[in-house]
Amino acid sequence: MGEFVRLEVSDGIGTIRLDRPPMNALNTQVQEELRAAAHEAAERKDVRAVIVYGGEKVFAAGADIKEMATMTYTEMVDRSGDLQSAFTAVAKIPKPVVAAITGYALGGGCELALCADFRVAGEKAKLGQPEILLGIIPGAGGTQRLSRLVGPARAKDLIFTGRFVDAAEALRIGLVDQVVPDEKVYEAARELAGRFVNGPAYALRAAKEAIDRGLEVDLDTGLEIERQQFAALFATEDRTIGMQSFIEQGPGKAKFVGR
C-alpha cells in the first residue's frame, strides 16, 4: 500500500483509491504507486473487477505542475516512458475497469480515466486535456486514447483548445458512459463493476484483449486475435459450465467459477 494510492478489496471489487489532497495531483510518486496498485489488482485472484476512484470531491486534477516545471528536456526524456507505462499498467489490467469520476478529471486525470473500460461521472464533473495552455501536449496517452474513444475531430477540439467539458457534453460525445448525481458516483461504479464479479473471468479477459489489441491492427489481424482468444476459451472450466447450463437451463443461469 502506497502513501497516496491504495488498493481496497471488497466483494470481488478492487478499488484503486487516489488520496493525495487537495487535488490528487499525479506526481512521480503517485504514478509509481498507481503502477504498483494496478499490478496488484491484475494479479490478485480475489479481484474480479476494478474501480479507479479519487474520492468524493475530485478524481485527479492533473500532473504536479510544480514538479514538472523544473524538469529539463533530458530529465523528461528519461521520465516520459515511465509516465506512460504507469498509466498503461491501469489500461492493461486484464479485468473490467471502471473510472468513478467526481469533480475534476483534467490532464493526467482525464488520461487516467481514459485507461478504464467504462467511465461513470458525477453531474458536476469537468473533464479535459488543458496541457496546450501550458505550452505542451498530453503525454500519458491523451492524444491516442482520447482520439480512439471520441474520434479524431473531437479529440483535436479538446486538445487544441484545452477547454473543459461538463458531464452532459462528455456523455454526449462518448467521453463518459453514465452520469449520476455526484454523491452516487462510487455507488454507481460499484453497481457497474459488480455485474462482472461473478462472470467468466477468462472470457472477460479474452474479450478485453481482443477488443483492445484489435483496435491497434488491421481487420484481418484483429480477426486472427479474436479467433485465437475464442478457441483458447474451450480449455476453460467456465466454458464447460456455461454451455452445459445453457443446454439444461437456458441462457443467463450459469454459475461460473473463474477458471
Question: Nearest CA to 244 among 195, 198, 204, 200?
Answer: 200
Return phi, psi of residue 158, to 5°. Answer: -70, -40
Q: Give yes or no: 151 in active site.
A: no
pTM for the full predicted model: 0.94
Return phi, psi of residue 149, to 5°. Answer: -85, -50
DSSP track, 207-223? HHHHHHHHTTS-HHHHH
Peptide bond into 21 cis (omega under 30): no
Contact 97, 13 (CB under 8 A): no
pLDDT value of residue 235: 96
Q: Give yes or no: 63 in active site.
A: yes
State the DSSP code for 29: H
For residues 249-253, give the mean pLDDT. Answer: 90
Q: Considering the domain delimited by 5-197, tell me its CATH architecture.
A: Alpha-Beta Complex (3.90)
| Banded pLDDT at 164 (limits 50, 70, 90) | very high
Q: Give yes or no: 8 in active site.
A: no
pLDDT value of residue 64: 83
What crossing angle do the helices spanning 219-232 and 201-214 adopt, rounded to 10°?
Answer: 170
Tens digit of each residue's pLDDT (9 = 90 or more) over 181-235: 999 999 999 999 999 999 999 999 999 999 999 999 999 999 999 999 999 999 9
Tens digit of each residue's pLDDT (9 = 90 or more) over 16-64: 999 999 999 999 999 999 999 999 999 999 999 999 999 999 999 988 8
- Tell me the C-alpha distance between 109 and 62, whole Å: 5
Question: Nearest CA to 115 among 201, 26, 191?
Answer: 26
pLDDT value of residue 1: 79
**Per annotation, catalytic residue among 42, 89, 128, 131:** 131
Return mean pLDDT, the chain: 96
Looking at domain 201-249, what is its CATH homologous superfamily? Lyase 2-enoyl-coa Hydratase, Chain  A, domain 2 (1.10.12.10)
Give the start-to-end residue ranges of the domains of the chain: 5-197, 201-249
**Per annotation, catalytic residue among 108, 128, 141, 142:** 108
**Per annotation, catalytic residue among 25, 54, 86, 111:** 111
Residue tagged 486475435 (cell numbers): 225
**Per annotation, catalytic residue among 25, 36, 63, 116:** 63
Q: Give yes or no: 111 in active site.
A: yes
